[in-house]
Structure 1
Amino acid sequence: MDQKTEALYQFLVDHAANFTEDWLKRQKIKTGSDYSADAPSDVMKKVKEQNSNYVRLVAKSLLQTEDEMKGTISAWTSQTAADRIKSKTELTEVAWNSGVFRRVYWEYIQKFVKQTDLAITLDDVFTWEKKLNYTLDYVFETFIIVFMDILMGRLASQASLIKELSAPVITLTKEIGLLPLIGEIDTTRAKNLMESTLTQSIEARINTLILDLSGVVMVDTMVAHQIFKLMDALKLLGVQTIVTGIRPEVAQTSVQLGIDFANIKTEGNLQSVIKKMIQR
């Protein structure tokens, strides 16, 4: 092991806590941020621990092979990225702090060069530069990958939840379900509506589905086509469909567009269809 590299490693490890304090002095005040200079004490304590550990991990890369470094860094970035997502830290803020960390790191290397009795050459400095900057770049790269993977995973989960909520089949009785549609129905929502309704109807084991359109302000040929397809698919599953709540303006538009609801079982409003079913 190179004596000078070993000495630099030990210097950085020994000064990790001081490094973190110098790094923190450059933080701005930003409400709600883990990096904020006025962050709560428990948050600040955790950030200090993470940053000091980060200093040591980067220093350790001086003594590691590339594969060893990547294994060590990947484990650290996975946990840290999850923490930053949890605290709603923006990626732009992470990027800014990555730059601050790098500048402070090289300032400490400069301190080491000035303080050591070892004969540090320009070649030594450039060797360290190559290894340390590669490590720091890898940290940022893997952090972004993990950060975005977690973020996109959450967005996908939220999108799935929104999709389900946008077409909820409400069970009124063991055999009757209600699908209230609200707002505009575009091509994407219509497709999701078909998939979600069929799945929910099968799971609920209903034989009648009330399709309430009172919250739909516009029906065009595409929407009508999707509704007809949905009812045809439900029929194949043994589920009868009753359409209710068609607004006057929707009915007028349907007539103008030539949309034929003649073969569809309809009721004026939800209250009337429920009343009839209770009477049965």
Structure 2
Amino acid sequence: MHSTPALAPETTIAIVGAGRLGGVLARALRAAGFVVVGPLRREDRVPDADIALLCVPDSAIPAVAFAVRPHVRFVAHVSGATPLTDVDFSLHPLQTFTGTESSEVFDGIGIAVDGRTAAALEVAEHLARALGANPFHVDDAHRAEYHAAASFASNFVLTVLDAAEHLAKDAGVDRSHLAPLVRQTVDNWAASGAASALTGPIARGDEATVARQRAASADYRDLFDALATATRAVAGRAPRTATADTAADHAATTEEPRS
């Protein structure tokens, strides 16, 4: 465990990239007491600073890192997927941003950090803590898995919720009616994991209902089939309960005899 000395209050951080995260980080780092320059656009000249924090698209990181290197002590990026090839450390907030959040948005969240040297990693850890976040380590060898996990937990969830919203709209049900179900599902998953939290017809083995759902999801047939297959695998990991056993036994005793 590295000791993390406090960065001096006069530490200067140049934010390069004026997108959603760049603006939020600039506000939060100023609120934490740092001297912040920017957010700057990629084509802007970066003044001398202690740290350049690159909030640019992944494909732009090598060129921007090369350009700012002569002006700063540390170069860092905020990408979850990009290795440290062109920078000294990484700082990836595990959160979704609209760009309008207050500086408190980082309080209590996780931030993935890594550094090419012990000193660089210490700086990354300190910045994460200064933002009110909890740093955790993800190295280059595991970035792909980590970033894929983040996409499943956020981007792909929105894709599924978009399908749910459109299907519900056809039934005259508003998005606001689905939201409490989504929140409770996430709370249950956070508390006990997917297998224990899973409910619904697949968990019950009610394939007749699943078939009706599939027929009603014609516009999302491929997505439905893929998710149903994956959900059956999750259901297979769930501990069998008395209720589930009773339902399975009932299904077995009421099945029509085969000739």
Q: TM-score, normalised by structure 1?
A: 0.28
Asked which structure has the greater CA Rg, the reply is: 1
TM-score (norm 2): 0.29
Q: Which of the pair is proportionally richer in strand?
A: 2
Higher helix share: 1
